[in-house]
Chains A and B, each alone.
Chain A
């Protein structure tokens, strides 16, 4: 009976620690994700990606026209 109580407390403590860790991760600033987001926006603003400009597809894509 005693052992069961101790085990239960241990599991409860572990669960508590994991939940706290989860909250902590969400509060800390996600630096790597922010860097990726910044790069995506800079690509757009400075037009650094060739594929970013749609005009390349225009000549053969007139609406309603099929060849």
Chain B
């Protein structure tokens, strides 16, 4: 009889454990004020970055950032402005990866999130845009 009671308790514990597993596999939390603000900031900057991606001046690095690929594609007068754009974008990206990891209670996921984004930015990039392959060489999509 005691065994039956004990097994019922185990079953009850399992009933709690199963949804817990499901939560672990569900969507990541990306709807926080910090993440939304970063998203908006990057969205606004994208109108300035898109022509630079198209001209090949700026490309996507394999570590989830962007970088100046071909300085000659930018008129000398604009180079400083482009460098500032790149720096601001990379700052937002770093904050975005960090915030997603934090919002999900796992700050240690930051580098995994960065790696995931690095792959997704590249595979969603338009054809003609440049990215760094695994060996670090620039490739045109």
Chain A interface residues toward B at CB < 8 A: 4, 7-8, 11-12, 14-15, 18-19, 21-22, 25-26, 29-42, 44-48
Does B138 make an interface contact (CB < 8 A)?
no
In the complex, chain A residues whose CB is within 8 Å of the CB of B120? 35, 38-39, 42
Known contacts A8-B3, A19-B17, A47 near B24 by CB under 8 Å: no
Does B34 make an interface contact (CB < 8 A)?
no
A49, B68: Cα distance in complex, Å: 27
In the complex, chain A residues whose CB is within 8 Å of the CB of B109? 29, 34
* Contact call A34/B13, Cβ cutoff below 8 A: no
Tell which of B6, B13, B46, B112 touches A45, judged by Cβ atoms closer than 8 Å. B46
Interface residue SS majority, chain B? helix
In the complex, chain B residues whose CB is within 8 Å of the CB of A37? 27-28, 30, 100
Please tell me the size bucket of the interface on B: 20 to 34
Interface residue SS majority, chain A? helix
Known contacts A15-B13, A29-B109, A8 near B25 by CB under 8 Å: no
In the complex, chain A residues whose CB is within 8 Å of the CB of B7? 11
In the complex, chain B residues whose CB is within 8 Å of the CB of A18? 14, 17
A31, B117: Cα distance in complex, Å: 11
Tell which of B13, B25, B124 touches A33, judged by Cβ atoms closer than 8 Å. B25
Binary flags per residue of B98-141, CB closer than 8 Å to A gives 1, else 0: 00100000100100110011011100100000000000000000
6 tightest A-B CB contacts, nearest first: A38-B120, A37-B28, A29-B112, A34-B116, A25-B24, A26-B24
Does B43 make an interface contact (CB < 8 A)?
yes
A7, A39, A46: residue with the most chain B Cβ atoms closer than 10 Å: A46
* Contact call A42/B116, Cβ cutoff below 8 A: no
A60, B39: Cα distance in complex, Å: 28
